[in-house]
Chains A and B, each alone.
Chain A
Amino acid sequence: MSFLLECPHCGIREVADFAFGGEVCKRPQDPSFRELCEYNYIRENVAGVQREWWYHRSGCRTWFLAERDTRTNEVLRIGLPGELT
């Protein structure tokens, strides 16, 4: 896998600069056991656009969100949490 990703602070970098944080999922409150297991272990794993967490590990160490097409690795949007609506 190899593509470019834009860090909201540092700009465009190779994806190897970043750590992947997985798809964004909402942390449940007082979940049932099933909901907890789904939150911990089950992912949508879409073939298409997904919103996900990225961490600029070899850079500014910022966590941010990206919308990426998992089929083409095209990154459509990026932003800090709260900025990307």
Chain B
Amino acid sequence: MSSRLPPQPGERVARERELKFTFDGRPVQALAGDTIGSALYAAGQRTFSRSFKYHRRRGLMCCSGQCPNCLVAVDGEPGVRACTEPAREGAEVEHLNATPNLELDVMSAVDAFGGPFTPPGFYYKTFIRPRRLWPLYEKVLRHAAGLGRLPREQHERRWRTEYRRRHADVLVVGGGLAGLSAAAAAAEAGADVVLVDDGVEPGGRLLWEGGHERARELTVRAREAGVELLTGASALGHFDGLVAVWQGETLHQIRARQHVYATGAVEQPLVFAGNDLPGVMLSGGALRLAALYAVVPGRRAVVATTCDRGLETALALADTGVQLVAVTDLRQERSALGAALEERGVEVLQGWTVLAANGRREVRGVVLGRPDDEAARLERSCDLLLVSGGDAPATSLCAQAGASTVYDPVLGQFRLDVLPPAVRAAGQLAGFGEEDAAAASGERAGRAAASAIGLGQGELAPEQPPLDGRAGVCALPPAAATDGSRGRAFVCLCEDVTAKDIPRSVAEGYDSIELCKRYTTVTMGPCQGKMCQLASIRLMARETGSSIEQVGGTTARPPWASVPLGALAGRPFEPAKRSAIHGRHRELGARIQWAGDWRRAYDYGDPEGEALAVHESAGLIDVSTLGKLLVRGADAARFLDLLYPNRLSTLKPGRIRYGVLTSDAGRIFDDGTVGRLDQETFYVTTTSSGAGAVEQWFSWWLADWRLDVQLTDVTQALAAVNIAGPRAREILERLTDLDCSPEAFGYLDARQGSVASVPALLLRIGFVGELGYEVHYPAAYGEHVWDAILEAGAGQIRPFGLEPQRILRLQKQHILVGQDTDSESTPFGAAMPWAVKLDKEEPFIGKWALAHIAEHPAPTTLVGFTLPDGRVPTEGAVVLDAAGTAAGQVTSARHSRQLGRVIGMAWVPAALAKDGATVTILDEGSRIGASVVTEPFHDPAGELLRS
């Protein structure tokens, strides 16, 4: 007997196109258009996974990507739902959570024997003694927990999240009849509309309920009206008006002015013993298998329903040739659909429900009964049990948007109550379940959304939803479910929470639904409550003697649909900055490291040797990362006088001055040099990492003071190199037309000229403590000038990296802001009182705080230190005061080959901040005596700088 039905009108499979994939290594035949789940089911597979805790067999249930039963790994990626994952040629599908295989899972012993020992939180109750064994227990439990394994190593990420921001007039979530109608109507009124649907094509229920042609017509209408249709796209959550949508490898962040939710409803399972056996399926699941994939869901079916949905499905399946053994309808009144079934000779049991499903590997028979009559019992054999516990409106996304929900006793479900502004609901979510009513409600919502933003006709009066035939009853689990006498009855399939666990949770004091959720983890698994929230609320109500309204629901939280962590993890955008000379550093074999946002040459393999070359001959370093600002205008000098604590207006054109920037609290936040190019033009350099912050700081004060100043950030436009060392001058002279004699171009002079025929600004600055010239020039000539200098100095000059520069500057006790200072450091504490001119009349930034700090010195001061032995203390090591208490810390420490000893900088008690004082450094348990040096270690008089 074939497992495929004859061609179905709306089937998605292409029978002439076969493909093959493997399941646990075995080949599986599929048709194009199949899902992995439908192909496996057609091939006779009934067990798809083993459950989370008890390792019970689980099979297809919802066939809509909602329940956890068909989670598999595809090509190594765990947590994929087989029922919605398209079958692909050559895909390698593997089961999860069973050892050694799906058929023989050793951990299923937990199901057979573990019952009394595995209540909620059992691992905290059972595995606490002896306490010293907990690490071992934990290891075992961790191994047992979770579904699936990630590969330990992944050499290359197969995909990278694309982020897309989309602004729209109207966002419609849900592409069923109502959603498509809403999107088309809004777009026809002139709105820019995005429609999000999780199916492979829009249409929702229409696609498997015989309306596929209508769905396709509506899709064409929506497309022609200009709707952007996102299919295979799951709305994850509604965050502050922004809806996150995961589609393939793209995370859309959609912000719309109006939202229409048409998310439909989720068919609810029933709670009874054995309700998780393979072969127990939601009625809609079986219908989808038959209608979309032409797969025979079973031969002999029993249907247990609480509403018309199950009866509709029963009729539809009867048409495909499934034999209906019996139909139970928990409602007392026979509906028209029930009568229609009876006319076809089906046994319809009104007021009955299912008490238990029996079978070892899959369902073989059922026990039916009446909740109100203990004696009423019927047994039927079958290979398929279809259940329908009513359609729960999918309110979660709306609730995240701010809607309130209310329990509707007629529907037996929670439905939407009050909607927030600019949010509308349509279709079954809003109570319009019948086809034409759903379409009309969508049209109305779409037009209303458009008219709310001034498009189309005026606001339309909302219509009250009719209480349609889908009204159901509250399907309380039968008592047998909670006493466990007929076997386990599951409330939550994801986390294996049984109906017994809810009363147990209440008995232990977790008697509110929110507490019960956290204790039992009901609603917290992969289905996110879609299958279990209602049942857990019903059980909680019965157990606590409250009404369902009193129990209420748990807070709706994202994600509404499963999403790989990789979609959300990491920074969306992490650019690396590279200087214009970067390629040369790589060619020279530099070790490249991160320095803030920059990729920088850390060294070229020999940091101490590179530093030595600067002292003995010459070195060349790429300092393009420095922040560079042009400050121009009539008020430029006044502006800088207001920003810096020292005076810059007295700077003569062609001269440079060091400046430290503080906040209005007097705390250092950056430093650099200021060169005056002419009366109204200043060239400001900042630290590499502070460039952005300084530009922001300058422009902020400029916006507030509104001075006649133009600020231009030329950080990226200019490359810069520092050529330093005793032979720097002679090398530079070979490349420039400038007079480089000490008389014509002295220390702290700024000159404009050409270097290697490139126009450049040259700054004679001594950050590294030797005769040096910073050459700033257009970035386009980055490598040209670098090459020219190395060529002109061949045999005399050596490139040096960031690390040797740090040794060199430490020898001079030049601070690195952020390394030697923190957010509390002041110029006084950092031993730079000369950088503050408190007698300046201008109310400069930090003036009043610095005046206060000058009178109230901080308890610690930044000083240099040396160590007799060769050990380099850890940066961050503690400095102790006389009493042995922590009083400061080491901020920088290096070995200097030039000086032949270890040097560093540290914050020490102010009383010890004098030459020759001894401070104690506590470094990784050992105490080291260090000698304080307040002057630069190298060239303290600065003669080399000025040479």
Contacts and interface: CB of A to CB of B under 8 A. Distances in A.
A29 B843 contact: yes
A71 interface: no
Interface residues of A, number: 28
23 contacts: A1-B240, A2-B240, A2-B242, A2-B255, A3-B241, A12-B167, A14-B165, A27-B664, A29-B843, A30-B848, A31-B848, A39-B664, A40-B663, A40-B664, A40-B665, A53-B700, A55-B696, A57-B692, A61-B696, A61-B713, A63-B700, A63-B702, A63-B703
Interface string A6-28: 00000010100001010000010
Interface in B197-231: none
B645 to A, nearest CB: 15
A73 interface: yes
| Max count, chain A CB within 10 A of own CB: residue among B165, B665, B848 | B848
B408 interface: no
A53 B697 CA distance: 12
A36 interface: yes
A57 B241 contact: no
B664 A14 contact: no
B849 interface: yes
B586 interface: no
Contacts of B927: none
Contacts of A2: 239-242, 255
- 5 smallest CB-CB distances across A and B, nearest first, come from A63-B703, A2-B240, A40-B665, A2-B242, A81-B703
A57 B314 CA distance: 61
Interface of B: 165, 167, 239-242, 255, 663-665, 692, 695-696, 699-700, 702-704, 706, 713, 843, 848-849, 852
Contacts of A73: 240
A31 B852 CA distance: 11
B695 A61 contact: yes
A64 B706 CA distance: 12
Nearest to B704: A81
Contacts of A14: 165, 255
Contacts of A21: 700
A36 B848 contact: yes
A4 interface: yes
Given A4-B255, A33-B852, A36-B849, A19 B696 contact: yes
A64 B702 CA distance: 11
Given A33-B852, A55-B700, A61-B695, A3 B664 contact: no
Contacts of B704: 27, 63, 81
Interface in A15-72: 19, 21, 27, 29-31, 33, 36, 39-41, 53, 55, 57, 61-64
A1 B255 CA distance: 13
A31 B849 CA distance: 10
Contacts of B692: 57
A62 B703 CA distance: 8
A81 B692 CA distance: 21
Given A3-B241, A4-B255, A40-B665, 18 more contacts: A2-B242, A14-B255, A27-B664, A30-B848, A33-B852, A36-B664, A36-B848, A40-B849, A55-B699, A57-B692, A61-B696, A62-B699, A63-B699, A63-B700, A63-B702, A64-B703, A81-B703, A81-B706
A68 to B, nearest CB: 13
A12 to B, nearest CB: 8
B706 A61 contact: no
Nearest to A40: B665
A58 B713 CA distance: 14
Nearest to B165: A14
Contact of B240 (A3, A19, A31): A3
| Max count, chain A CB within 10 A of own CB: residue among B241, B242, B665, B704 | B704
Contacts of B852: 33, 36
Contacts of B700: 21, 53, 55, 63
A28 to B, nearest CB: 8
Contacts of A33: 852
Contacts of A19: 696
A41 to B, nearest CB: 8
A16 to B, nearest CB: 9
Contacts of B695: 61
A14 B255 CA distance: 9
Nearest to A28: B848
Contacts of B255: 2, 4, 14
A61 to B, nearest CB: 6
Given A14-B255, A33-B852, A40-B849, A61 B699 contact: yes
A11 to B, nearest CB: 11
Contacts of A30: 843, 848
A64 B165 CA distance: 24
Nearest to A14: B165
Nearest to A4: B255
A27 B695 CA distance: 20
B756 to A, nearest CB: 33
Contacts of B702: 63
A61 B713 CA distance: 10
Nearest to B847: A30
Nearest to B702: A63
Contacts of A1: 240
A29 B713 CA distance: 30
Contacts of B664: 27, 36, 39-40
A7 to B, nearest CB: 13
A39 B242 CA distance: 35
A31 B255 CA distance: 45
A80 B703 CA distance: 8
A27 B704 CA distance: 10
Contacts of B699: 55, 61-63
Nearest to A55: B696
B713 to A, nearest CB: 8
B307 to A, nearest CB: 39
A23 B94 CA distance: 56
A82 B663 CA distance: 24
Nearest to B692: A57
A6 to B, nearest CB: 13
A39 B845 CA distance: 12
Contacts of A29: 843
A26 B945 CA distance: 44
B639 to A, nearest CB: 15
A2 B702 CA distance: 28
A10 to B, nearest CB: 14
A75 B713 CA distance: 30
Nearest to A65: B703
A12 B255 CA distance: 12
Nearest to B713: A61
Contacts of A39: 664
A2 to B, nearest CB: 4
A61 B695 CA distance: 9
A80 to B, nearest CB: 8
Nearest to B852: A33
Nearest to A12: B167
B16 to A, nearest CB: 48
Contacts of B663: 40
Contacts of A61: 695-696, 699, 713
A62 B699 CA distance: 8
Contacts of A62: 699, 703
Given A40-B665, A81-B704, A57 B696 contact: yes
A36 B255 CA distance: 42
Contacts of A41: 665
Nearest to A24: B704
A53 B700 CA distance: 9
A40 B165 CA distance: 37
Contact of A82 (B240, B665, B696, B706): B706
A33 B242 CA distance: 45
A21 B701 CA distance: 11
A63 B665 CA distance: 22
B701 to A, nearest CB: 9
Contacts of A81: 703-704, 706
A82 B707 CA distance: 12
